[in-house]
Every structure is written in C-alpha cells, then in structure tokens.
Amino acid sequence: MTAQPIEQAAVPAPAHAGAPVLQLTGAAVRVGGRTLWSGVDLTIGAGEFTAVLGPNGVGKSTLLKTLLGAAPTAAGEIRAPGRTEIGYLPQRRTFDAGVRIRGIDVVRLGLDGHRWGLPVPFLNRARRRAERRRIDEAIESTGATGYAHRPIGECSGGEQQRLLLAQALVTRPRLLLLDEPLDSLDLPNQSAVAALLGRICREDGVAVVMVAHDVNPILHHLDRVVYLAEGRAVTGPPREVITSETLTRLYGAPVEVLRTTDGRLVVVGMPDECRSGGPCC
Amino acid sequence: MITALSHPFFLHALLAGTAIALASGLVGYFLVLRAQTFTGDTLGHVAFTGAMAALAGGYDLRLGLFAATIGVALLLGALGRRGRPDDVVIGTLFSWILGLGTFFLTLYTTHRSSTQGNAGITVLFGSIYGLDATQTTTAVLIAAGITTAVLLLARPLLFASLDEAVAAARGVPATALGLGFLALAGACAAEVTQAVGSLLLLGLLAAPAGTAIRLTDRPYRALGLSAALAVLDLWAGLALSAQVPVLPPSFSIMAVTATCYAAAHLVGP
C-alpha cells in the first residue's frame, strides 16, 4: 500500500473512454413496498473500478441485482449491457468439501452452462478448441492454473474465489458485478484478489462494480464510490465521498472519518445499522 | 444364465430393469449433486402410499405410484425455496404420508385382498420377476422418456445445481429446472419401485451415483459412469439371483450396489 492511496485513486482511468458501459439516472428501487434507495445517478465507463459501500441492509446487493435485470426499478432509468456482457459473482458461500467437480469444469459452465443438452465430444471441433483456449486464458488471467484440475471442493476459499472470477470473466464481459468477493478471504488473499481486480479493470478495460463491506483493501484501486445510506446515495471519487462532511450530510447524523497512519480509513459514529464494529464503510 | 434367459419373466426383468437402472443412474447423479437424497428417500415412501391407495381404490397400482411420487415431488419443490425442498418440510410430509400408507394398506387387506394378499410386501421390496409383457413395455418407455429428459436438461441443471444465482443471471431458468428435475425424480422413483421396491430404491438411485462421484471428478463422465454402474449393478444382481435362486433379486441387486460403493471408497481418493 502506498503512502498516498487516496490521491492516487483520483487519477482518471486510462483511455478506455467513450460511451459509458453503465448509466443510472434517478434510479430508485422498492422492495416489499419500501423504497430502498432513490435518486441514484451513476455513469461508469470501460476500465473503471467502482465500489458500492454502505451499512448492512441498505440495498447494496439489490443494486447489483437491478443492474443484472433481476430486480425491477421503481423509477428512473438504467442503461446496462445485456446478460451475456455481464459477469456476476454473487455473495459467496464456499463449495462444500464434498463437491468433486474440477475447477475447470465450473469455469466452463460460465461459457456454455446455459445451453441445453450435453457437450458432444466429436462435434464442432473448431468451436470446442476455441472454447478450450478461452477457458485456459480466463483461468490463467486469474492465476488459477495451478489448481484448475483439482476438485473445487478441495480448493481453499481464495482459490475458489479465483476460479469463480475466471468463470465470470470467461465470456469477456464488459461489466463485472461482484458482491463482497473479499469477504471470506484472509488479509494477504484480500489484497491479492483486489490487485487482480484492479489489473483486470485497467488492462482488459472491464468496468468493475463491487459491493464491499470494507473499502480499505480496494481503496487505492478505486475510481469511484457509490455510498448508499438512509435511502440516498452519494457518488464520486473516494476522497470526496469518504469524508466526515459528506457522510455526515448523507446520514444526517455526525459521522467521522479517521485515517490511520498506513492510509486506512475508519468510519466512526455511524448510526448503528452497521453492527460489525470493524472498519466498516 | 442361458436357461434363465429362456424364461419370459427373466427376460422382462432384464429389459425393464436395464431401462429403469439407466434412468435412475442419471437422475441419481443429480440427486446426489444437489444434496437431495433425502428427497429421493421420501419419494420411496410416497411410492408405497400411492400404490396402496390405488390398490385400495381398485385401480392399477402404477397409476397410484406415478401420481403420488410426481405430485409429492412437485409439492415438495413448491413448499421449498427456489425449487429446492427443505429438510423439515420433507420430514413432516414424509411421516404423514407413510402413516397414510399404513391406512391404505389396512383398508386394502381388510376389504380387497382376496387375490393379492402380499401386495404390500411386493411394493416395499419390489417384484422385478413379476412384470408381464405390457408392464415391461410401459416401464421401458417411461424410463426412456426420463433418460431423454435428463440428458436434455443435464448441462443447465448442472450449472444451476452448482451455482444457482450465477446460472440464473446467465439466463438459466433455475427454479423451473429444479421443479422439473423433482418431477423427473418422482417418475424415476415410481419406476424404481417396480424393480427393487420402494424401501430399497435409494440403492439404485444414490449408490451408483455416489460410487461414480468417488471415481471421477469430471461431471459428464460421472453422469455417464453413474448410469453405467446402475445398469451393471442390476445385471450382476439379476445374474446372481439366477445362479443362486434362494437370493431374491432385490437383495442381490442391493448387495452388488453396496459392494461397488464400498469398493469405490477403498480404491478411490
């Protein structure tokens, strides 16, 4: 981690500019008759890394589902890529140790799992070869080659996460939606996967939207933060959003953002929806 | 063995049994993968009740079998979340339905059973040697239908079984697939009941699949292996009971499946 992570984050994303990958205008979502959030404006271009932050139950995962088209909007407009252009990594429970299916087969399902029937071995060889190449490439890009042929149930949490990331990337999506992908990982794995996501974002020009419980592991990769609270949202670069003034205004209650000597951010005094007690923001 | 094949009853058993084993090996793989073997067990008990209800009402036993197993399979799916039954629902329904089965059994034995006094035992433990030509044809056709359906659904069902949320995001109708699979599992349970009986059907549904999963970590290979093992188990069981007439076929089939499963654990990883 560098000494000045926030300033670094302010550097605009490299030249992937052009038409935005994702655009929300005045979007609102209602679940069970209650408005979770409203008035969310957001524009994300290719190669940009965005984090969705906020206390538990505020509708962060619902935001991802809305972008997927799996949850309807109550108001506003959403322009997102089609299903085949989105990679999705839902909030994770790990695979049980008894799941004896190789990682590479799980990755392959990301490519062809929606097709009916069974793969026929000797039919359409050229396509199968191309698919095989793409699968190997995706696994290589997440650094999972070493254990892709082991049963996924026998892989560690971090290894499973990399395989699932390869599964999400195998279709070459323009938009990657991730729901707390670092949650079940230990600290070294958290920063390794965060760096991997940053690289996928910059080098492959994939727009990444990630729901996070703790912003610190990804802080110096981020271009933008969507902070949801009290049914509203603030959007902007992390150094503008994660500040005492902005969060106090958002919550309508005094909130203080502290910065530790190693550059980590700690939000204190938040209304008690956030019970984790940790560095939660 | 050659002499056994000259008996029509043995030929019927071999034909119907092969088709049924093939279907149950395929369905069984997904039951094990989806951790729904308990559902399979319940469907066995439901099969007993269905058959008894049909007999008590004076209908063809198979009508009750299929109506009960498919109906309850869909009911379990509807009561559970996203087409997956939960254990408490299954447990409650299961004991109630088995109780209902004893009621129909009593009704049947006291009012109707002048000709088929041991029908209860037949349903519980199977009577693969009791199939006539028409019953064999029907069993083979239904098993072929189940086999085709499972093969058609196999890939998206595999995806939805491993990773429901991601599969749904990719456009796989995960909930509908879960329900469709339960209906197939119900039909399969009714079929297997005719071969080895409702109490023993897990032997043909779960054991070959469990064995296959121990032996390979490639999903489609495991699916095929599960079906092949189920068929081989059935053949070996029938051959054993033909050689040693004192062994009932249901027993020898179960003995072979259990032996294979144990052997796979010994040699497998």
Q: Do A83 and B153 touch (CB under 8 A)?
A: no
| pLDDT tens per residue, range B15-48 | 999 999 999 999 999 999 999 999 999 999 999 9
Mean of all residue pLDDT scores within chain B: 91
pLDDT at position B117, please? Answer: 63
Q: Do B219 and A101 touch (CB under 8 A)?
A: yes
Nearest CB to A113 within list B152, B167, B218: B167
| pLDDT tens per residue, range B157-172 | 999 999 999 999 999 9
DSSP structure string for A199-262: HHHHHH--EEEEE-S-SGGGGGG-SEEEEEETTEEEEE-HHHHSSHHHHHHHHTS--EEEE-TT
**pLDDT band at A17; cut points 50, 70, 90:** low
| pLDDT tens per residue, range B73-103 | 999 888 877 667 778 888 888 889 989 998 9
CB A253 within 8 A of CB A260: no
State the average pLDDT over residues B180-189. Answer: 96
Going along chain B from its start, the domains and CATH numbers come out as 2-263 (1.10.3470.10)
Residues in chain B: 269
Among A18-22, A29-33, A157-161, B184-188, top mean pLDDT goes to B184-188
Judge whether A125 is closer than 8 Å to chain B, CB to CB.
no
Determine the residue of chain B that is closest to A149 in CA distance.
Answer: B217
User: Chain A: nearest CA to B78, how far in angstroms?
Assistant: 21
Q: Do A70 and B217 touch (CB under 8 A)?
A: no
Q: Do A86 and B152 touch (CB under 8 A)?
A: no
User: Chain B: nearest CA to A41, how far in angstroms?
Assistant: 24
Determine the residue of chain A that is closest to B214 in CA distance.
Answer: A100
Determine the residue of chain A that is closest to B215 in CA distance.
Answer: A100
Whether the pLDDT of residue A270 is over 70: the answer is: no
**pLDDT band at A281; cut points 50, 70, 90:** very low
State the average pLDDT over residues A83-108. Answer: 91
Determine the residue of chain A that is closest to B219 in CA distance.
Answer: A101
**pLDDT band at A79; cut points 50, 70, 90:** very high
Nearest CB to B154 within list A84, A99, A117: A117
Nearest CB to B151 within list A86, A117, A151: A117
What b-and-e string marks burial along A224-239, b requiring 16 or more CB atoms within 10 Å of the CB?
bbbbbbeebbbbebbb
Q: Do A117 and B172 touch (CB under 8 A)?
A: no
| pLDDT tens per residue, range B46-62 | 999 999 999 999 899 99
Nearest CB to A114 within list B156, B165, B222: B156
pTM: 0.89
pLDDT at position B116, please? Answer: 59
